[in-house]
Structure 1
């Protein structure tokens, strides 16, 4: 890693240093209480950062660094909770609203048509303005949307609120994952797989919250709680999280990157470079700052850009048309359609929310050991089996050969639903989003991640919007359709999805260019 500049040096290539770090023409330390060392190549003093050579082997230093990484990651994923609530909000609100089939399908799917707009804007915002403004904007837009739903008096206002919460969902899809992957755990490939999945964990926690509160409260009160969570996320990001040191470095703002790294207290800012344009790999003049639309298009013509974009986009296509978000958005109705009638569907919905949340938490511990490929394949196979079981159960439910009144047979759709939820939650649901921060080159990471997520939400909109009509057209055959798509998704993952376990970001991207 290149030697970090001391506090006395000026920010490279236009980078600015906050007033608290300003120095005179002679080298000085940043803070009187901070121990310093001398860089032999520059004869300038520099602070001994947390996790640096001052205590390279100390176990307490490692523990402090780990706890700090976890703390910062929790702060970074809070803006993803309320957008996650928008996923499951329709499942608990539809029974309380006097809507036609067409209006109900729009109410459920509107968040997914608004989300791509947020995704498309999220990339340029992250690349041009930074990761932090993208996170703050996520909370602000969500806060406005949830307040409109809370105080809505007309269906039009409800749709406007749903659109804004969907817009917030699109904005939330990438910034947290990218910030964590490039600045919090960039030097710890094992921890990267765990913490990078926490943004999805936060969204599933939002789903659990909306299912639980929706079983107890009216939809307006649920929306008010989501608004409070959105506002909390804005405050925490504003006052605790600095701009991403990796992003600042990519802009040539080394002084600001040093300051941000000291604010994070995780050690020196990463100077790890990912493959850039062949003509220019210098950090200070990296293409991210001056890259035009034509240059971005040229970058996407390279295999290290278009290959991961194509693979991840197809993964999202199979993910959505295997009913991952359809079940979340229509959970109550889906439970009724599966043939399970013993228990209250709202009770089963809360249990399903707990399973989704617990499964996505477990993946943060499992993923570093198994890698993304085995989990994704197992997930697709599990979803396919569960759909085929439900379809077969409904096909023979009224057959005179078997008495389906027996309690044992009544548990078959419940068991299949649980299998479906667990399988999707440990693979198809989180893993494509986790990989967004790992597979794209730095200079187009924001745009590429935003584009991939945009496509994901377009697929989500189509899947959720068409579910009521497909159910009418295909009847119970819709379960066989979803199962077939899941099986095709598992085959796609097995053949094309790259394994990222134990690899640096540079190694992953080089694999696409080979």
Structure 2
């Protein structure tokens, strides 16, 4: 029989559990948090589409207008290159919050700049906002809202394009930019106040209490995959390992895909929307009204793309739409030039309009550059290179159209056809090679 402790023996104190009431409003559902975290994507769409309806009003020369339209893509390229390091240092949510400061400064320079240089610097800074948020917001939503179809950046970016086209058709460029400043400030406050930091990033920094609080707020039970390791230096490691075949081959394939995607003209269509409508041969209704309708179809295309889980199929479908639209617009303009008179051209002017509807709907996928494969080393560098190519395309489009005319749409269609071939040959082949390797690795050892 065990000896019972005497009355004089000190009893072992029971552990005290302190339960602290969560310091947040539980009525904010994860769906609302997903919408709040994606508000910067609406601002990114507004930046990309800002010149589509306001370019003719800018008080600068035509050459500087082409620079103004294209510098957003150049700034986005720079934003992509620095975003990965910012995510390592500040986390996806912290990086998004900081990017708002850059965006506000850029919009203020756009409104109040008295010189052309400041005007162009403002455009470049707003482009940096686009590049940073395109990666940070995508990383955050992929981690925290992987199964929510509503948490797709491309849809909100298309909504931003629709919003700026509608507002820009009613107001001048300064008033439109002023509304953008207000929207950026509101987004900064909402994201800073209500959106929690990435649980995986917090855990990688040893902040376990904050990570639990973030998971409680997001209503997730398991920690998602980490966005970045605290001791990882992706930029340096990528440069060191660039000569290895398993690094540079997927990277070059990804760069080729993104280059052909930009050469298909999505950013040029967004940046010169009103001009592109006239260049395609559309001669009915008001160009601004048509642009608003086209942007509405862009939102529809973005919603359709979110329903497709297979990334490669989405990019192929997008390139196929651009190919068909280019063929339709090119065929109409060729027939109009050879056969139709003015009355016949006006009677059939709905044909290029249909082509433009398909073109804009297909371009929605390229609003946020799409990666056919996951976990390719140097993805942020490839995205930066993609925006660099987009900068060149936007800058050269007016001059290319002055030289080629409507044949520019045939060029876009040809690049889209090459992109389809690239996706089928390169990325499908990669998946066939990866599958047997995965089967071998998962076999139990004897």
Same fold (TM over 0.5): yes
- 1:411 is aligned to 2:350: yes
- 1:229 is aligned to 2:183: yes
Q: Distance in 1 between matches of 2:406 and 2:89?
A: 48
Q: Is the 8 A contact 1:387 1:482 kept in 2?
A: yes
1:154 shift after superposition: 3.3
Question: Match of 2:279?
Answer: 337
The alpha-carbon distance between structure 1 residues 297 and 94, as it changes in their structure 2 partners (threshold 3 A), is: closer
Q: Secondary structure at the match of 2:20?
A: coil
Q: Distance in 2 between matches of 1:75 and 1:290?
A: 29
1:264 shift after superposition: 2.1
Q: Distance in 1 between matches of 2:389 and 2:282?
A: 28
CA RMSD, Structure 1 to Structure 2 (Å): 3.3
The alpha-carbon distance between structure 1 residues 449 and 292, as it changes in their structure 2 partners (threshold 3 A), is: closer
Question: Match of 1:208?
Answer: 162
- 1:357 is aligned to 2:303: no
Question: Match of 2:34?
Answer: 73
Question: Match of 1:376?
Answer: 315
Aligned counterparts, 1:12-411, within 5 A: 28-31=17-20, 68-185=29-146, 191=147, 194-195=149-150, 198-270=152-224, 272=225, 288-289=230-231, 291=233, 294-298=236-240, 306=248, 308-364=250-306, 366-368=307-309, 371-399=310-338, 401-403=339-341, 405-406=343-344, 407-411=346-350
Q: Secondary structure at the match of 2:114?
A: coil
Question: Match of 1:432?
Answer: 370
Q: Is the 8 A contact 1:376 1:431 kept in 2?
A: no
Q: Secondary structure at the match of 2:337?
A: coil
Q: Is the 8 A contact 1:173 1:453 kept in 2?
A: no
1:164 shift after superposition: 1.3
Q: How many residues align?
A: 422
The alpha-carbon distance between structure 1 residues 247 and 395, as it changes in their structure 2 partners (threshold 3 A), is: same
Q: What stretches of structure 1 of length at least 5 have no aligned partner? A: 1-24, 35-63, 186-190, 275-285
The alpha-carbon distance between structure 1 residues 291 and 340, as it changes in their structure 2 partners (threshold 3 A), is: closer
Q: Distance in 1 between matches of 2:165 and 2:41?
A: 16
1:424 shift after superposition: 2.4
1:301 shift after superposition: 6.2
Q: Is the 8 A contact 2:274 2:287 kept in 1?
A: yes
Q: Distance in 2 between matches of 1:411 and 1:313?
A: 36
The alpha-carbon distance between structure 1 residues 314 and 33, as it changes in their structure 2 partners (threshold 3 A), is: closer
Q: Is the 8 A contact 1:379 1:424 kept in 2?
A: yes
- 1:468 is aligned to 2:391: no
Q: Which residue, out of 410, 417, 424, partners 1:487?
A: 417
Q: Cα deviation per residue 1:416-474 (whole Å; 9 max; x = unaligned)?
A: 1111112222x4444606x6xx7127xx7xxx343222112101101101111211222
The alpha-carbon distance between structure 1 residues 423 and 254, as it changes in their structure 2 partners (threshold 3 A), is: same
1:141 shift after superposition: 1.0
Q: Distance in 1 between matches of 2:398 and 2:383?
A: 24
Q: Distance in 2 between matches of 1:253 and 1:307?
A: 37
Output the TM-score relative to the length of structure 2: 0.85
1:498 shift after superposition: 5.7
Question: Match of 1:40?
Answer: none
Question: Match of 2:11?
Answer: none
Q: Which residue, out of 372, 378, 382, partners 1:452?
A: 382
Structure with greater Cα Rg: 2
Q: Is the 8 A contact 1:212 1:350 kept in 2?
A: yes
Q: Distance in 1 between matches of 2:230 and 2:244?
A: 16
Q: Cα deviation per residue 1:236-266 (whole Å; 9 max; x = unaligned)?
A: 1111122201122334443432232123222
Q: Distance in 2 between matches of 1:212 and 1:492?
A: 36
1:29 shift after superposition: 4.5
Q: Is the 8 A contact 2:369 2:383 kept in 1?
A: no
The alpha-carbon distance between structure 1 residues 303 and 178, as it changes in their structure 2 partners (threshold 3 A), is: farther
Output the TM-score relative to the length of structure 1: 0.74
The alpha-carbon distance between structure 1 residues 266 and 233, as it changes in their structure 2 partners (threshold 3 A), is: same
Q: Cα deviation per residue 1:182-205 (whole Å; 9 max; x = unaligned)?
A: 2332xxxxx26x355x21222211
